[in-house]
Chains A and B, each alone.
Chain A
Amino acid sequence: MALAATVLLNGLTLAALYFVVASGFSLIFGLMRTVNMAHGALYLVGAYVAYAVFEPLYDRDAWYAWYLAVPVGMAAAGLAGIALQGVLLGWMQGQELRQALVTIGVSIVVADQLLAQFGGTPRQFFAPDALFGTTPLPLVGRYPTFRLVQIAVALGVGIGLWWLLARTKLGLMVRAGVDDRAMLAACGVNVPLVSLAVFGLGAALAGLGGVIGATAQPLAQGVDGRFLLTSLVVVIVGGMGSVPGTAVGAVLVGLAEQVGQALFPTYAVILTFALMVAVLAVRPQGLLGRSA
């Protein structure tokens, strides 16, 4: 019983991390129809740049090292995202295959540059003392505090995105753009500027995921591909471009991974993809997606 509860909680906390990363991916796709294959690279950029700021501060025992790393990671990834959209993707709007190929190219270049800069040694952020250690919970006993923080961050991101999309003028423009870009432009809205803002936001979420993710798991070469793949599975299951869909997808994928690990570790990965196959077979647009 305690084990089942722990596994369930593990699934939810992992889902929280996946949601933070995939929500940015989904947001970008929703407005721009860009399948951003460089999303994993943005995760890496956020995490590595934040690490470069974090490490010297941590060495000096500065209590704020980790708290500072979070906005730095978001800013770094956000700026990288804006540059990506502004310099490369902006002028090939609507050419989806071309954008996908360009972003794959960018992700390879970025990963190799980071390898050259930071080397292959795995890195890891150390959660500040307030977030490290365990918290007693009913049923599961002592549970890693940082994993609970992941849930709090994901809730914050989810509520923030909902507020942004449903309650602000930018959100209004984004939602209008999802339905009809041309009409939105005709109404006098500077769509390229809105695109830049959305891309920057989506990338910043990847950066946030990078710092949170690299605190929970090591940061190393190759995690970009893993998080890109996970993001793809999450949004395919949940529905492309839908924030609630991303949340549902993340929960299902996170639970599938952890339950699989507890029951049949060697074949756990199959469960994730079986989930995706099932959703694609029954509801190709994703659980909460709209049909094209």
Chain B
Amino acid sequence: MTPTLTRRQALAGAGSLTLAGTFPAPAIAQNAPIKLGGLTTLEGPFATGGQDAYRCVQMELERINHTAGGRRIEFIRESSNARADVALARARKLVEQDGVDIVLGPLSGAEGIALKDYSATLTGKTIVNGSSAAADTTLRNPSKNFFRFSTDGTQWMAGVGNYVRKTLNIPEVCVVAGDYAFPYAQVFGFSLEYCRAGGKATYLWSPLGTTDYASQIAQIPKSAGALVVVHGGTDGLAFMTQYAQAGGSLPIIGGSIMADQTMMSARGPHRKLMTGMVSGGPIADVNDDPNWNEFVARYRKRWANEGGFQSPSIHGVNYTTNLQGILGALEEVRGDLSGDQQAFQAALAKRRFKNPMGAEVSLDHNRQAVSDIFLTKIEEREGKPVTVAFARAAQINQTLGVPEAQFLALGAPSRNNTGCIVAG
């Protein structure tokens, strides 16, 4: 139970301060807890990831004894189901009914865009991303109240396209992906490199929450040398299981949430196909970095007996990274959220820190993270599949190093704008 401020206590506090006559408004704010609203997906296709996000947030808050900048942090949990309308309704509930100061969330791509738009209508409130990774949440029409310390889906694919085309030497791939904002970003990042390097790709899209992929699997071209699967959660599991059942055997290149613990913890025929899968993203289970090893050890100790994974998930790490952004800024302003949070937001924008993976994080002018991306491969270690980082691309920005104007001119990622532009 977290203590809440009752109306009576607030009145008593206000009364005593009026009597004292000195420090007015800010002092009340200093005594009241900071309300941090959490929004993640405890329902729907990313329920496992959402659960893990809250595990990591809870672990971090426990570590600092629920205090930052000298003020208590009251954490209020909300849940959506990965749908933008639901996420928006829950965020409004947090802001308008629970009266939170800061929202930490959401988890999924389209939700992020909805919350970015919502944050633009707010004054004196800040939304800090959870794990959502659609590019346009911060790239196009950004909101000054929305901050993202985690990298986006396009950034996560940095290096994968070149690796597949040049190192693995595969001239043609088939991309199967979910039909919503996050896979658009991932496919865009992959295709940008892959097609520039002379690769050829066909694309098969399906809505989030599809359970029967049989007819899509039947459409995979015979000429494809590898399958790029950009699905996540139960969608990924359903696709891979059915692909295995259909006797599929192409090498698999994974989107960033394919190699997540959600898929690796689930058992089944998909596992055999996934061994050796190459992917890119902000985390890897095995990463030789003291920050990461310490974080994983803490995570295991805290959650081993309470349903935790072998290793924290991508969503858990992203929520932690964003929470680190918030907590550091709160320390910086000594918990002062007055003046419509302007000092706090300025502190957020200037944050520079190392995230759990040991990657340096800073924000660009759109309040979007610039950070390190890891190339990973799935290996069996002690009979369990784990992702192992084998390369690291340092300080990848949101436009993958392409000048921003030029990158924006390519258009927003969508199922009709895959980023597959052959070098002319």
Contacts and interface: CB of A to CB of B under 8 A. Distances in A.
Nearest to A254: B212
B219 A262 contact: yes
Nearest to B204: A265
A266 B237 CA distance: 19
Nearest to A262: B215
A121 interface: yes
A124 B47 contact: no
Given A218-B266, A220-B234, A268 B207 contact: yes
B247 A122 contact: no
Interface string B238-272: 10011001110000000000000010011111000
Given A14-B212, A222-B43, A268-B207, A133 B48 contact: no
B202 to A, nearest CB: 14
A98 interface: no
A132 B270 CA distance: 13
B246 A120 contact: no
Interface string A93-132: 0000000000000000000000100011111101100001
A216 B242 CA distance: 7
B207 A269 contact: yes
Nearest to A115: B47
A10 B242 CA distance: 12
Interface string B214-244: 1110110000000000000110011001100
A221 interface: yes
Contact of A10 (B179, B218, B233): B218
Contacts of B214: 6, 10, 13-14, 144, 147, 258
Interface in B261-299: 262, 265-269
Contacts of B218: 3, 6-7, 10, 262
Given A124-B237, A261-B215, A265-B204, A146 B210 contact: no
Given A3-B219, A10-B215, A14-B212, A134 B206 contact: no
B295 to A, nearest CB: 21
A226 interface: yes
B260 to A, nearest CB: 11
Contact of B246 (A144, A259, A266): A144
B205 interface: yes
Nearest to A2: B218
A108 to B, nearest CB: 12
A218 B219 contact: no
Interface in A200-231: 216-218, 220-223, 226
A261 B238 contact: no
A216 B266 CA distance: 14
A145 B247 CA distance: 10
Contacts of A220: 45, 47, 234
Contacts of B206: 261, 265-266
A6 B48 CA distance: 33
A234 to B, nearest CB: 15
Interface in A1-38: 3, 6-7, 10, 13-14
A123 B266 contact: yes
A120 B212 contact: no
B361 interface: no
A119 B212 CA distance: 23
A222 B47 CA distance: 10
A142 interface: yes
A119 B55 CA distance: 13
B31 interface: no
Contacts of A226: 211
A139 B206 CA distance: 25
A134 B234 CA distance: 23
B207 A122 contact: no
Most chain A CB atoms below 10 A, which of B44, B205, B206, B268: B268
A258 B42 CA distance: 29
B237 A261 contact: no
B35 interface: no
Contacts of A126: 267-269
A146 B207 contact: no
Nearest to A127: B245
A126 B245 CA distance: 10
A218 B212 contact: no
A265 B210 CA distance: 10
Contacts of A121: 48, 262, 265-266
B131 interface: no
A146 B245 contact: yes
Given A10-B212, A134-B246, A120 B42 contact: yes
Interface string B305-342: 00100000000000000000000000000000000000
A120 B51 contact: yes
B415 A266 contact: yes
Interface in A165-205: none
Given A218-B238, A258-B215, A122 B246 contact: no
B150 interface: no
Contacts of A218: 211, 234, 237-238, 241, 266
A117 to B, nearest CB: 11
Interface string A242-281: 0000000000000001110110011011000000000000
Nearest to A223: B211
B362 interface: no
Contacts of A268: 207
B186 interface: no
Contacts of B269: 126, 132
A265 B47 contact: no
Contacts of B212: 10, 14, 216-217, 257-258, 261
B219 to A, nearest CB: 7
B246 to A, nearest CB: 5
Among A119, A123, A124, A143, the one with the most B-chain Cβ atoms within 10 Å of its Cβ is A124
A217 B415 CA distance: 25
Interface string A129-162: 0001110000000111111000000000000000
8 contacts: A122-B266, A134-B246, A147-B245, A221-B47, A258-B214, A261-B206, A262-B218, A266-B206
Interface of B: 42-45, 47-48, 50-51, 81, 179, 204-207, 210-216, 218-219, 233-234, 237-238, 241-242, 245-247, 262, 265-269, 307, 415
Given A134-B247, A144-B245, A262-B216, 15 more contacts: A6-B214, A13-B214, A120-B48, A121-B262, A121-B266, A123-B266, A124-B268, A127-B245, A218-B237, A218-B238, A218-B266, A221-B43, A221-B47, A265-B207, A266-B179
